[in-house]
């Protein structure tokens, strides 16, 4: 019998579209490394804000990015990015980061700083004996892993998504982030050709995961 393959699953979608919840369940179900790239952009944003490097100052931004050391630590099945040895704090989910993150994420140099690091999570997953990687973000199926074994794109009505975030007790600028993320020139948020598009507006989280798992399970045997 041949060994089961190491698989890559890409899940993209707008703010509060259910990427994180569904990725975590899939990671537990299939023993995959969960990689939340949004948390990486949030962590970098918090770090740059703390260092008072505005997204408008390209030379300062480039210098700061070049000096940052990005490493990984596992938190259960999730990959946690360490910046100069430090994990992200709770502030990465605060309104200040919500308001700034899409501005930093639109800058090609910021995206470039994370590109190799994100791809490197496959090696982390293999090293730690996972059966694959489930990576969520905005450009995973289009730019980071266009040849992923599975590429999903989650849609949901903006009103429904705003309700979800409210239920989590969080203030967020969902519509504004979606607008900025979809309109930027580098790696915009878009459903790549060939990806499985799932509208979760009227689906429960379990139903979304079921749809994904039904496609993934046969490949893992």
Is 192 among the residues that bind ligand CDP (CB under 6 A)? no
Minimum distance from CB of 2 to ligand CDP (Å)?
Answer: 33
Residue 64 or 140: which CB sits closer to ligand CDP? Answer: 140
Task: List binders of ligand CDP among 86-115 (CB under 6 A).
Answer: 101-102, 105
Taking CB under 6 A as the criterion, the residue among 8, 10, 11, 16 binding ligand CDP is 16
Is 77 among the residues that bind ligand CDP (CB under 6 A)? no
Quote the CA–CA distance of 17 and 181 in Å, as a whole number.
14
Is 47 among the residues that bind ligand CDP (CB under 6 A)? no
Minimum distance from CB of 103 to ligand CDP (Å)?
Answer: 8
Taking CB under 6 A as the criterion, the residue among 26, 177, 195, 209 binding ligand CDP is 177
Residue 48: Cβ-neighbour burial (10 angstroms; 0-12, 13-18, 19+)? buried
Is 37 among the residues that bind ligand CDP (CB under 6 A)? yes
């Amino acid at each position: 019998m041949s060994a089961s393959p190491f698989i890559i699953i890409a899940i993209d979608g707008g703010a509060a579209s259910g990427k994180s919840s569904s990725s975590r369940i899939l990671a537990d179900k299939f023993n995959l490394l969960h990689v939340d790239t949004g948390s990486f952009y949030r962590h970098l944003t918090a770090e740059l804000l703390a260092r008072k490097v505005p997204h408008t100052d390209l030379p300062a931004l480039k210098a700061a990015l070049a000096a940052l050391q990005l490493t990984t630590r596992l938190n259960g099945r999730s990959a946690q990015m360490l910046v100069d040895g430090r994990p992200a704090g709770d502030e990465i989910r605060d309104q200040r980061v919500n308001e700034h993150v899409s501005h930093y994420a639109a800058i090609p140099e910021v995206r470039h700083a994370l590109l190799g690091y994100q791809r490197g999570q496959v090696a982390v997953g293999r090293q730690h004996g996972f059966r694959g990687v489930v990576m969520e973000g905005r450009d995973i199926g289009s730019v980071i892993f266009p040849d992923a074994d599975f590429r999903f794109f989650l849609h949901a009505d903006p009103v429904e998504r705003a309700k979800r975030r409210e239920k989590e007790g969080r203030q967020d600028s969902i519509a504004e982030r979606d607008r900025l993320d979809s309109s930027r020139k580098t790696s915009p948020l878009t459903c790549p050709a060939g990806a499985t598009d799932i509208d979760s507006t009227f689906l429960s989280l379990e139903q979304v995961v079921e749809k994904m798992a039904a496609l993934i399970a046969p490949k893992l045997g």
